[in-house]
Structure 1
Amino acid sequence: MIQVNVFDCGGLVIAINVSHNVADGITLCTFLKYWGLMAQGSSQEIFPDYMAQSIFPQINSLPDEKHLFSDIKHFLKIAKYVPRRYAFDALAISTLKAKSTSSAVKFPTRVEVISAFIWKCFMAAKSGSSSTSLLTHAVNLRRKTVPPLSENCFGNFLWIAAAQNSNENETDFRNLVSKIRESISEIDDDFVKNMQSEKGCPGYYENLEKTSKRIPKESEILSFSSWCKFGIYDIDFGWGRPIWASNCVPAYSESLLLNSVTLMETRSGDGIEALVILDEKYVAAFENNKELLAFASIDPSPMVLGKQALRS
């Protein structure tokens, strides 16, 4: 579904809703980028690549209840979830990178450090809980193969990486970054090829079992998805790049959801916005965290962020 909203001030918002059964974030953004090129009269021809059907053929013997998100569904619960946006500028990210550098991770990425930092703040917000804290991250499989698959591959090319922290009194920032790096690194070319080979279904089961072991059901989950480097701010329908782009965040409501975080680049490209949805019982402690307030601004105006990027 696509809805175009035109405002009296001359502003324009295009809202898109797509089923995750059909496409992942990369597929959606690729579609939008080339829709923009067509709107500008570009002669460039880009076609979606449906190679997923040959790389990962349908497995008729696979039980319906046994799939990648089987373990994640266990954590869905009805509660009052509150959305907040936290913006980290380039200086904050640079400082966090310096704080997280270790012998295990000499060059942490901005996604790793922001994820670890928010995870640390989340554990502090639910201090006293005896359950294991679980972080999951959606991983784009296109970039994990050698050579990488085309970004034009249509469908859902993703997997779930999972990292645990069983003792919430041990929240050393560098250690959390290392846990995230380790979990994502396990999803590599060999991991993907294990599902492509003649092993087929057994290979899929092996990978599923590896992931399942990292997702204990007694955990408290914080689920991450990064839309960084998707090229969202390169989308241009002929009126210039967007001032602000955002993933959909539900309003304060009682819903069947997860505690989750979506990371998106700011328009300038050097900052990150974290769209955080938390169970109401964690929100006050989370957003009053002094360390979080020192590095991030809460719910900054999208127009202010956009204008700052234009000036820079």
Structure 2
Amino acid sequence: MKVAVRNSCLVQPAEPTWSGSMPLSEIDQLGVLSHTPSIYVYRPPQDWAAPPRRIFETLRSSLSKALVIFYPLAGRLRWLPGSRLELDCNAGGARLIEAESGATLDDLGDFSPSPEYADLIPQVNYSTPMAEIPILLVQITKFRCGGVSLTCNTSHVVADGQSMLHFLFEWAALARGAAAGPPPVLDRRFLRAGEPAASGRRSDFGRELFDPPPVLIGETSDAGERRKETAVARLKLTAAQVENLKREANRTRTDGGGAAVKRPYTKFESIGGHIWRCASKARRHAAAQPTTLEICMDVRKHFHRLPPPPRKFFGNGVMDVFARGRSGEITAAPLGHAAALIREAIDSVTGDYVESMIDYWKGIEDFSQLQDLKGPGTNDGAFYGNPNLRFISWLGLPLHGLDFGWGKEIFMGPGAHDCDGDLLVIPSSDGDGSVTVAVCLQVACMEDFKKVFYEDLPFNSRL
């Protein structure tokens, strides 16, 4: 898809903001250091009258106001000794790009993430010095049919999904001329950045957390799997299908070792277990194949020994946890077994676990081996492709209804999703209980995955 850039500028806060160095928490700067893109697509109403120029000016003016409130997004990151990062709040500005496309929204199909749509996303040149890279890049693209897409590419070091949604909805309110809501809490000391590690605290997490993901039996590395071509699909589960998956998982409910458990499995655990089983089948693993499901988990509620981060805390409050099993057991056992492995990983994350993890990270002198600095589509860092999966859930997040003055979006989703093993569960925008599973797998596995994904649903949910 060809996109022509018409304008590009740095948008700085409309008023002076606090300036200086803001320490980052260990959670902020461990893991993926690249930008995370998301996309909103809007179909214009029949009375659409705002010319592209006015749309751009509205966005620029309101973004300038929003950056007064969310001023860390206007700053820059810089390296410290030991491959640590800090945030320089210098009002450097966010990049805003205006573009046009000769395509129509219908050309986007079902809006599945695709390399074909890369030009809709503001790109980041990671060969540029870190101190020169904007933390936030936004692109508004006008289509021939009059529709628009709005894509944001945000440094995950500065904010996670929950924090960015707070920013986006406040920005949209300002664009509509409405008053801003409660301001974000920018003090990152809630996650104890820069404070000494507590003495005598036991390490409540397992050291296997830092083990590399398993590779295919008979292979010594993941190099071959990294090179294989991938495909992306968006698979819908109706509300009835989701409920039947939960019912099936709970009908066969165990603790992973065969003992019955009382607490019902959640929608997340049931869908995750189903996907894990289907992927292992589609990949045709040997029965003894070790496989890991990486789970991105919000840990804000797990800070018990300290004042927990407030609801409007702006930063990162997510950590990765890992469910582990063997493909033969996962595929042969009922759905409740896979759900139990996911439950076990999630339940391991206690307040002690999170605080012990942060203490451990604080004692590391060189972060470079624990960081993944990459751009979308690269193969750097830990590989959670075959035989593994990376599972992210947007269930429960306020994703939908982002209105900048031209109505609510017709689609919201990830801007890039092109690494083998990536999974994202997105709730329906109409609140009917259905979900969409965005999945990226190797081309050789995708058709088998789609087939078994629906064939393995409980019988009364396939209709």
Q: TM-score w.r.t. structure 2 length?
A: 0.53
Where does residue 274 of structure 2 map in the other structure? 117
Letter aligned with residue 145 of structure 1: F
**How much does 1:91 deviate?**
0.5
Question: Which aligned pairs between 1:198-237 and structure 2 lie closer than 5 A?
Answer: 201=362, 220-237=387-404
Judge conservation of contact 1:262–1:276 (CA < 8 Å) in 2.
Answer: yes
Deviates more, 1:44-53 or 1:76-85: 44-53
Letter aligned with residue 158 of structure 1: V
Instruction: Say if 2:319 is the partner of 1:159.
Output: yes
Judge conservation of contact 1:132–1:167 (CA < 8 Å) in 2.
Answer: yes
Structure 1 residues 166, 292: closer, same or farther in 2, change over 3 A? same
Question: Which aligned pairs between 1:139-154 and structure 2 lie closer than 5 A?
Answer: 139-146=297-304, 149-154=309-314
Judge conservation of contact 2:245–2:458 (CA < 8 Å) in 1.
Answer: no
SS at match of 1:5: strand
Relative CO higher for 1 or 2, CA cutoff 8 Å, sep ≥ 6? 1
Task: Choose from 332, 338, 342 the match for 1:180.
Answer: 342
Task: Choose from 38, 42, 53 the match for 2:178.
Answer: 42
Where does residue 409 of structure 2 map in the other structure? 242
**How much does 1:123 deviate?**
1.0
Identity of counterpart residues, as a percentage? 22
Instruction: Say if 2:140 is the partner of 1:4.
Output: yes
Question: Which aligned pairs between 1:33-72 and structure 2 lie closer than 5 A?
Answer: 33-53=169-189, 55-58=191-194, 71=212
When the two structures are aligned, how many residues end up with a matched partner?
A: 276
Where does residue 236 of structure 2 map in the other structure? 87
Q: TM-score w.r.t. structure 1 length?
A: 0.76
Please give the alpha-carbon distance, in whole angstroms, between the structure 1 residues aligned to 2:416 and 2:458: 21
- Write out per-residue CA displacement over residues 176-212 of structure 1, whole angstroms, 9 at most, x where no aligned residue: 1111111111112222233567x87369xxxxxxxxx
Judge conservation of contact 1:122–1:286 (CA < 8 Å) in 2.
Answer: yes
Instruction: Say if 2:408 is the partner of 1:259.
Output: no
Where does residue 13 of structure 1 map in the other structure? 149
Judge conservation of contact 1:119–1:222 (CA < 8 Å) in 2.
Answer: yes
Where does residue 450 of structure 2 map in the other structure? 287
Structure 2: runs of 5+ lacking an equivalent: 1-136, 198-206, 215-220, 254-259, 365-381
Structure 1: runs of 5+ lacking an equivalent: 204-214, 252-256, 298-312
Letter aligned with residue 201 of structure 1: K
- Write out per-residue CA displacement over residues 220-255 of structure 1, whole angstroms, 9 at most, x where no aligned residue: 21110111222010322233332211112356xxxx
Judge conservation of contact 2:324–2:341 (CA < 8 Å) in 1.
Answer: yes
- Write out per-residue CA displacement over residues 74-95 of structure 1, whole angstroms, 9 at most, x where no aligned residue: 8682321111111111110111
Please give the alpha-carbon distance, in whole angstroms, between the structure 1 residues aligned to 2:268 and 2:401: 20
**How much does 1:31 deviate?**
1.1
- Report the structure number with the largest CA radius of gyration: 2
SS at match of 2:228: strand
- Write out per-residue CA displacement over residues 238-287 of structure 1, whole angstroms, 9 at most, x where no aligned residue: 33332211112356xxxxx3411011111123111111011223212212
CA RMSD of aligned residues (A): 3.6
Instruction: Say if 2:283 is the partner of 1:126.
Output: yes
Task: Flag the structure with higher helix content.
Answer: 1
